């Protein structure tokens, strides 16, 4: 299967996927208890004021008509207006994306920097104490949820030691704790994959042939086996790009990081339907693009998939 075919198939598959996400989120939001009019006017507002606001927000028409209107707006490039401040939804999202992109990039860099050395160390000493220690650390990283790790890091390094800011963005070192919180689980997952891939690569016939020709162990591990082991690791890395954006919702909320994740939570709390739908749609698009990137990398790195 060639590269162009994979891209075309993925893009075609993305249409029903994104439509399903939009539809599910739209109807779930309207089924969840709560009223955006209450968030705007308060529960003690006069009935006439409430009805006028509901009419102004087009919430007084049947839900299927609202849904049709929303889909038509998406197809024409109109993502709607935020219920809370009447600003364009896409504009608000684009304002928050750079902060999330910065956090995600540093988290991914941290994950890769930890995962490959840890995976190599575990594979090099497979079955020994070093392997057990490395994989125990990885298991711990996978098991600890972000909503627990974040506050613990804040208590130790911000409240206890006073080394880093507690929350927010813009201060020196404010990115450190959120990046560690978000990147730890990914680093643990990638290190386990790197270990198993390296061990599998070292058992291949091509590696035994290289040894027979007198190639040094260092060269075998880092030139021959590393290329083979990198294929599944890079593929998993690409697949996790979307998951990192989804995980940023929790991390940004814990650290009050002004990104897309925090914007999503704020919109949910205020029942801001158009803004929630826009945020979730952006996250879904990143998931689709991450899967497409994983397929492309798999084709480029593994010749067997192109046959």
Number of domains in the chain: 1
Q: What are φ and ψ of residue 81, in 5° steps?
A: -115, 145
Answer yes or no: is 23 within a domain: no
pTM: 0.79
Answer yes or no: is 176 within a domain: yes
What does the block give as tokens for 188?
């643990």
Answer yes or no: is 182 within a domain: yes
Domain that holds residue 138: 89-306
Q: What are φ and ψ of residue 143, in 5° steps?
A: -80, -30
CA contacts within 13 A on the Cβ side of 168: 7
Answer yes or no: is 191 within a domain: yes
What pLDDT is stored for residue 304 in this prediction? 56
> Rounded to 10 degrees, what is the CA torsion of 93, 240, 70, 274?
-40
Answer yes or no: is 202 within a domain: yes
DSSP per residue, 125-191? TTTSHHHHHHHHHHHHHHHS-HHHHHHHHIIIIIIIS--S-SS-SSSTTTTHHHHHHHHHHHHHHHH
What pLDDT is stored for residue 35 in this prediction? 67
What pLDDT is stored for residue 84 in this prediction? 78
Answer yes or no: is 47 within a domain: no
What pLDDT is stored for residue 286 in this prediction? 83
What sign results for the dihedral spanned by CA atoms 252, 256, 260, 262?
positive
Choose among 195, 191, 166: nearest CA to 178: 166
Residues 214-248 have pLDDT tens digits of 777 777 787 777 777 777 787 777 777 777 777 78
Helices (H), the chain: 3-31, 36-41, 47-56, 63-75, 89-124, 129-143, 146-153, 176-202, 205-212, 217-219, 226-255, 260-269, 273-301
What pLDDT is stored for residue 39 in this prediction? 63
Q: What's 229's domain CATH number?
A: 1.10.3720.10
What pLDDT is stored for residue 200 in this prediction? 84
Answer yes or no: is 183 within a domain: yes
What 3-state class would DSSP assign to 37?
helix
Which residues does the chain have with pLDDT short of 50? none
Answer yes or no: is 159 within a domain: yes
């Amino acid at each position: 299967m060639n590269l162009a075919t994979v891209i075309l198939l993925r893009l075609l598959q993305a249409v029903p996927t994104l439509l399903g996400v939009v539809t599910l989120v739209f109807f779930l939001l309207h089924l969840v208890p709560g009223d955006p009019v209450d968030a705007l006017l308060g529960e003690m507002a006069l009935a006439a004021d409430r009805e006028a606001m509901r009419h102004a927000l087009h919430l007084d028409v049947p839900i299927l008509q609202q849904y049709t209107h929303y889909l038509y707006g998406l197809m024409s490039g109109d993502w709607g207006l935020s219920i809370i401040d009447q600003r364009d939804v896409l504009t608000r999202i684009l304002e928050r994306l750079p902060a999330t992109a910065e956090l995600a990039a540093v988290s991914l860099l941290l994950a890769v920097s930890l995962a490959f050395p840890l995976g190599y160390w575990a594979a090099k000493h497979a079955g020994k104490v070093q392997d057990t220690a490395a994989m125990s650390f990885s298991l711990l990283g996978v098991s600890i949820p972000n909503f627990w790790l974040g506050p613990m890091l804040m208590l130790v390094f911000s409240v206890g030691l006073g080394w880093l800011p507690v929350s927010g963005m813009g201060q020196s070192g404010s990115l450190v704790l959120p990046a560690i919180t978000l990147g730890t689980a990914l680093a643990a997952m990638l290190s386990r994959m790197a270990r198993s891939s390296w061990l599998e690569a070292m058992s291949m016939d091509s590696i035994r042939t290289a040894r027979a020709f007198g190639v040094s162990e260092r060269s075998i591990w880092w030139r021959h086996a590393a290329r083979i082991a990198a294929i599944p690791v890079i593929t998993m890395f690409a697949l996790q790009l979307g998951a990192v954006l989804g995980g940023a919702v929790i991390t940004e909320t814990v650290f009050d990081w002004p990104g897309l994740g925090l914007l999503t939570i704020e919109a949910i709390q205020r029942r801001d339907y158009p803004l929630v739908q826009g945020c979730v749609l952006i996250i879904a698009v990143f998931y689709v693009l991450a899967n497409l990137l994983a397929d492309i990398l798999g084709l480029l790195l593994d010749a067997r998939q192109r046959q």
